[in-house]
Amino acid sequence: MVTADGVSALIPDGWVSHPEDGTAPFRGLTASPGPGVFDPTLPRRGLIATRVEASDVGAPSDLYYLAAKGPLTSQVTRSRRCRVTERRIYADHRPVWLQGVRKSPGDFIASASGRCTRNGRTTRWSYFVAAPGFGPARERGIPGSGLYLIVATTPAAPGAGRTLAEMIGNVRFGQDTARDFVQAVRAS
């Protein structure tokens, strides 16, 4: 188990973990079998688990809804070399100012998985993203964080889907997992 800035993950023996090297407000960690395998845009095998500390940004929480809904993951989901094979949206409560319903919590929580092919190598990937607004998901994670992202990748091979699910499922923001965010919005 490795931890950085309130984000923890269970990683395989021999993997190298580093605190997220992005500048504030990003906090979290990256992990991979070694530096030669890691590519920040889409590692062939690795894990990125990060959160945005909202108090460092000072932007309204509704803006995290917009970031989570598309730009944050567009590098993978819109690439010609990649395709989405599964996508689940657990909560898409548009903020009121985006023509959402009155008293909308402004939550966006989703996951996706797919494949990318680069230089003849196929990589399987999965991500989880949460931008809790003012609904039940807001009580999860780390107070003050406005956006949560987990990206896991592994070479395409038998069992890759299970490996990705375990990598995503073993990340914690504070004491909470991706499943806790999903359960919070389903219970409401």
User: Domain residue spans in the chain?
Assistant: 50-187
pLDDT confidence of residue 27: 84
Beta bridge pairs of residue 51 = 27, 148
pLDDT confidence of residue 8: 95
Contact call for residues 65 and 106 (beta carbons, < 8 A): yes
Beta bridge pairs of residue 111 = 88, 128
pLDDT confidence of residue 9: 95
Question: Consecutive sets of 10 residues in the chain, 188 residues long: mean pLDDT of each?
Answer: 92 85 73 64 77 70 74 71 91 74 78 89 92 78 85 92 95 94 84
pTM of the predicted model as reported, rounded to 2 decimal places: 0.86
Contact call for residues 185 and 90 (beta carbons, < 8 A): yes
pLDDT confidence of residue 38: 46
Chain centre distance of CA 93: 18
Sheet containing strand 46-53, edge to edge, reads 16-19, 26-32, 46-53, 145-155, 121-131, 108-118, 82-92
Contact call for residues 173 and 149 (beta carbons, < 8 A): no
